[in-house]
A and B are shown apart, each in its own frame.
Chain A
Amino acid sequence: MTQRLFLPVIAVAMLLFAGAPVLIAWAPYESTMGLVQKIFYFHVPSWVMMFLSAFVCGVGSAIYLFKGRAAADRVAVAAAELAVVFGLIGLVTGPLWARKAWGVWWQWDARLTMALVLWMIFVAYLLLREYGGPGSEKLAAGVALFGMANVPFVYWSVNVWRTIHPTTNVVPTLVPGMRGALWWSLVAFLLLFTAAMMARVRLEGQRAALDQVYRDLDD
């Protein structure tokens, strides 16, 4: 099922990505920030995908931990890797914009700090899986669960600490041309996420199947 859907999904995602620059170029200039504002069409979708991946990873880990389903763990690891990749895109595009808009590469702002902390939790998750040795899947699932539970605490504490980032409230106030380009990019990123998840989960599944074949051979 997912195998048959993979090609259409990746094809549509690529078409959308190919069309995105045109739409972004057509979108009106933001009056004060000018050209740099356009990075927003990649920055926002990548963070949305990062949070979606984080959520998928947390749910997958919880199912794996309490129900013991290996398939849930495969979904969790695929989502964790995507969370790190999309987070990295966000962490690179953010400072590029901030340098122009705020005059500095990095600000210890609430949202930035929270995103960085969440991203680090997923990097830690992958490090544990990579270097933790056998049995680390379960431990990593525990870490992902704690990471999820941590989100509201990090959110609250860094908000009290400080904030200057433009809030998500700006989205409904966007002029129509900007909104169209943003939604276009969001759908493109969502399809890319879906395609990458399909490929990655399938790879993990085949790896597990191969391991099983080796084990059967040994017995």
Chain B
Amino acid sequence: MTRFARVAWLVMRKDLTVEARSRELLLTTLFFAVSTVLVFAFGFVRDGRAVEDAAAGILWIAIAFAGTLALGRTFERERYHDVLHALLLAPVDRPAIYVGKLLGIVALMTTVELVVVPLVALLFQAGLFRYPLHVAALLGLGTTGFAAVGTLFAAMLVRARSRDVLLPVLLYPVTIPVIIAGVRGTAALLQPEADLAMAGAWIGMLVFFDVVFITLSLWTFEPVMTE
């Protein structure tokens, strides 16, 4: 177990070190997320105010879109100089590599959310900080679930043709429960009378989703990555 955790930690540290030096992914993904929010603002603002429930939807769509972009880019980087090949050749547990990549993606997406969430709260007068723990739980669990499926799909698509377009095509239908849970859970918290029971139910579903899909990913990573 300690060896597994160590490998995962090293893979994550490698990703974060590369990112800290170039800041390429963070800055591009962040700016992309902000642009998405802006584009949606034109669609969903009437008479200076956002239409009901729009803030929750805009937030989660921005996260999903930006996450897809980050997933594609982070594995594109692994393709240069055959880094992914080298990782897979290393005499370590393959699932540990998956966990390391997943942690790196979650860290990146969380950093983006730290900017996008206050921005959405500010621009759409959304009370995202009224129940900070609930919002944090929805965001954390939702991001983990989205990234869990996304990391596996992006990793296996590294070898495929037309991977840029195939990633969202494969990822969105499978992560629809995450998007529904995120949007409806956040919307339940943003109502004038926050529905904490409803938000709690969605948080529970996200926990289930994360457990099932992380287990399934750990289980399938080895066979799908073997050529």
By a beta-carbon cutoff of 8 Å, the part of chain A in contact with chain B is 65-66, 117, 120-121, 124, 127-128, 131-133, 135-136, 138-139, 141-143, 145-147, 149-150, 153-154, 156-158, 160-161
B13 within 8 A of A: no
25 contacts across the A-B interface (CB closer than 8 A): A65-B220, A65-B223, A66-B223, A117-B176, A121-B174, A124-B173, A128-B169, A131-B161, A131-B166, A132-B162, A133-B160, A135-B227, A138-B224, A139-B156, A139-B160, A145-B216, A146-B149, A146-B213, A146-B220, A150-B173, A156-B177, A156-B205, A157-B184, A157-B205, A161-B180
Residues of chain B within 8 A of A143, CB atoms compared: 153, 170, 174
CB-based A-B contact count at 8 angstroms: 92
Flag if B177 contacts A139 (CB, 8 Å): no
Report Cα–Cα, A160/B220, bound state, in Å.
30
Contact of A124 among B169, B184, B208 (CB under 8 A): B169
In the complex, residue of chain A having the shortest beta-carbon distance to the beta carbon of B216? A149
Interface centre among A147, A149, A150, A153 (most CB of B within 10 A): A153
* Across the A-B interface, the 4 shortest Cβ-Cβ residue pairs: A133-B161, A153-B177, A132-B160, A120-B173
In the complex, residue of chain B having the shortest beta-carbon distance to the beta carbon of A65? B223
Binary contact track B155-192/A, C-beta < 8 Å → 1, others 0: 01101111100100110011011001100100000000
Flag if A154 contacts B160 (CB, 8 Å): no
Flag if A150 contacts B174 (CB, 8 Å): yes
Least CB distance, A202 to chain B, in whole angstroms: 26
Interface range for B: 20 to 34
Interface of B is mostly: helix
Residues of chain B within 8 A of A157, CB atoms compared: 176-177, 180-181, 184, 205
By a beta-carbon cutoff of 8 Å, the part of chain B in contact with chain A is 149, 152-153, 156-157, 159-163, 166, 169-170, 173-174, 176-177, 180-181, 184, 201, 205, 208-209, 212-213, 216, 220, 223-224, 226-227
Report Cα–Cα, A127/B160, bound state, in Å.
12
Known contacts A128-B166, A157-B176; 6 further A-B pairs (Cβ under 8 A): A65-B223, A139-B224, A142-B156, A143-B153, A147-B174, A160-B184
In the complex, residue of chain B having the shortest beta-carbon distance to the beta carbon of A119? B173
Residues of chain A within 8 A of B159, CB atoms compared: 133, 135, 139
Residues of chain A within 8 A of B149, CB atoms compared: 146
Residues of chain A within 8 A of B157, CB atoms compared: 132, 139
Flag if B174 contacts A136 (CB, 8 Å): no
Report Cα–Cα, A36/B18, bound state, in Å.
62
Flag if A142 contacts B220 (CB, 8 Å): yes
Contact of B160 among A121, A135, A146, A158 (CB under 8 A): A135
Flag if B156 contacts A153 (CB, 8 Å): no
Report Cα–Cα, A138/B227, bound state, in Å.
9
Whether A153 contacts B208 in the complex (CB less than 8 A), given A127-B166, A132-B160, comes out as yes
Flag if B170 contacts A124 (CB, 8 Å): yes
Least CB distance, A17 to chain B, in whole angstroms: 31
Report Cα–Cα, A160/B161, bound state, in Å.
38
Residues of chain A within 8 A of B227, CB atoms compared: 135
Flag if A127 contacts B169 (CB, 8 Å): yes
Flag if A161 contacts B184 (CB, 8 Å): yes
Least CB distance, B202 to chain A, in whole angstroms: 8
Flag if A147 contacts B173 (CB, 8 Å): yes
Flag if B161 contacts A153 (CB, 8 Å): no
Residues of chain A within 8 A of B220, CB atoms compared: 65, 142, 145-146
Flag if A132 contacts B166 (CB, 8 Å): yes
Report Cα–Cα, A118/B123, bound state, in Å.
35
Residues of chain B within 8 A of A145, CB atoms compared: 216, 220
Residues of chain B within 8 A of A139, CB atoms compared: 156-157, 159-160, 224
Least CB distance, B189 to chain A, in whole angstroms: 15
Least CB distance, B46 to chain A, in whole angstroms: 21
Least CB distance, B198 to chain A, in whole angstroms: 8
Report Cα–Cα, A154/B216, bound state, in Å.
17
Flag if A117 contacts B173 (CB, 8 Å): yes
Report Cα–Cα, A149/B223, bound state, in Å.
17
